[in-house]
């Protein structure tokens, strides 16, 4: 996932099916897929992603120049369609466009309250006295709350998006929420008994 404009982690898969499984578990910001892969091709992967996800940026690489692939890619909101061999310059141009689109979809920073900013690209929380350290799990929890700000986020969503579908006890989540609350200050995170948690920005309209 991109943690800064040109930073982040890179994951690879040997075939299309395992690539789709990795997408579902890791939720990357950018997917680069080839038209011709064992098990499932790049367009099929893109179709699966687009069933529920319009935000992840997708780059397709191929040795083919058939217009039917280009047209299909356009319908799937593909950021770039690259014909192999792909040069370093072409790849970086495609990635730059992906980052620009991601930044347009999701702003860099969110003002949680006056003087308290969270930047989702650099994973930093900054207060009036400087940076406030967050753990990786606290960052993930905060980003889930920001995504659905003003709404109650159910326990199942935390389990899916933060714990990647693995078992998460309510006590474990509660402990992380308690630690996050102490760092955010105030009552930004509200509890909804037996349902989940909600993030309330001090001025919701400023963060839409």
Q: Report the pLDDT value the prediction gives residue 34, as an integer from 0 to 100.
A: 92
At 36, the pLDDT band (50, 70, 90 cuts) reads confident
Rounded Cα–Cα distance for residues 190 and 177 (Å) = 10
Determine the average pLDDT of the residues in 38-63: 92
Asked: is 16-105 a CATH 3.20.20.100 domain? The reply is: no
pLDDT tens, position by position, 140-152: 999 999 988 889 9
Q: Tokens 């800064």, residue?
A: 4
In the chain, domain spans: 16-105, 109-207
Residue with tokens 């105030």: 186
pTM for this entry: 0.55
- May I ask the CATH architecture of the domain 109-207? Orthogonal Bundle (1.10)
């Amino acid at each position: 996932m991109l943690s800064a404009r040109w930073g982040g982690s890179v994951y690879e898969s040997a075939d299309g099916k395992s690539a789709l499984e990795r997408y579902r578990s890791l939720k990357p910001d950018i997917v680069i897929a080839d038209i011709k892969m064992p098990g499932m091709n790049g367009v099929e992967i893109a179709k699966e992603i687009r069933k529920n996800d319009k935000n992840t940026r997708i780059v397709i690489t191929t040795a083919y120049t058939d217009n039917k692939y280009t047209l299909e890619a356009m319908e799937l909101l593909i950021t770039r369609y690259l014909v192999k061999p792909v040069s370093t310059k072409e790849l970086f141009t495609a990635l730059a466009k992906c980052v620009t689109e991601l930044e347009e979809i999701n702003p860099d920073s969110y003002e949680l309250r006056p003087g308290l900013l969270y930047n989702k690209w650099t994973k930093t929380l900054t207060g009036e006295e400087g940076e406030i350290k967050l753990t990786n799990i606290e960052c993930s929890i905060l980003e889930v709350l920001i995504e659905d700000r003003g709404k109650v986020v159910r326990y199942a969503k935390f389990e899916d998006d933060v714990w990647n579908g693995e078992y998460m006890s309510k006590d474990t989540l509660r402990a992380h929420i308690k630690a996050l609350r102490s760092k955010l200050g105030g009552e930004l995170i509200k509890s909804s008994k037996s349902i989940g948690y909600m993030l309330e920005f001090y001025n919701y309209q400023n963060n839409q």
